[in-house]
Amino acid sequence: MSEETSLTIEAPQPDQTRAEPAPKQSNLLREIVETALLTAIIFLIVNTVIGRFRIEQVSMQPNLWEGEYVIVDKVSYMLHQPERGDIVVFKKSVGPDLIKRVIGLPGDTVEVRGGQVFVNGVALTEPYLAQPPNYAMPARQIELDHFFVLGDNRNNSSDSHIWGSIPRDDIVGRAWIIYWPPPNWQVLSRPTYAAAEAP
């Protein structure tokens, strides 16, 4: 009589060595690092597109006062040239950045006489001035890629009537918004000079 042998086949058991979920502490650390990186990236992008400038001089009164802060638009002038009437922040070879108003464009002839500024022989209408200039400046033509800038406080401003026009490459951007202090908040608009077309 033959003996029957039976084989027992065991089913494979599931892997008991599964990785434990990462502790919550490491997730928190990762989120902190991601937030810090994202903040740094946003900061760099914002600083590339806009800047901030503190008014340190009286040369732009009565429109900009000492202690006010303005947002500077750095992008617009990548798309087009500064325009007459724009308030711009620019670098000087010595000293801090300055802020003035663009009066003369490349190729313009600018003259100051009789308490008025003339561009290409036409007197500018400047309603933003508190006082007219009490100085005279003989006619001068603005060089290529240069801009003639004046402070709105004409009689208390060191500007192009003293040290000449500024190169385009020195212009940082256009003053756009007064954002501090809050009661002085406003968008800085550009006046239109219909009579001051280039010759």
Written as one letter, the residue type at 156 is: N
**Residues of 10-36 as b/e, b for ≥16 C-beta within 10 angstroms?**
eeeeeeeeeeeeeeeeeeeeeeeeeee
Task: Encode burial over 136-147: b for 16+ CB neighbours within 10 A, e otherwise.
Answer: ebeebebeeebb
Query: Is the N-terminal amide bond of 127 cis, ω within 30° of 0?
Result: no
How far apart are the C-alpha atoms of 113 and 89, rounded to whole Å? 26
Question: Rounded to whole angstroms, how far apart are CA atoms 62 and 80?
Answer: 28
CB proximity list for 151: less than 8 A, separation 6 or greater:
57, 59, 60, 100, 101, 157, 158, 159
Which residues are catalytic, by number? 59, 100
Q: What's the distance, CA 103 to chain centroid?
A: 19
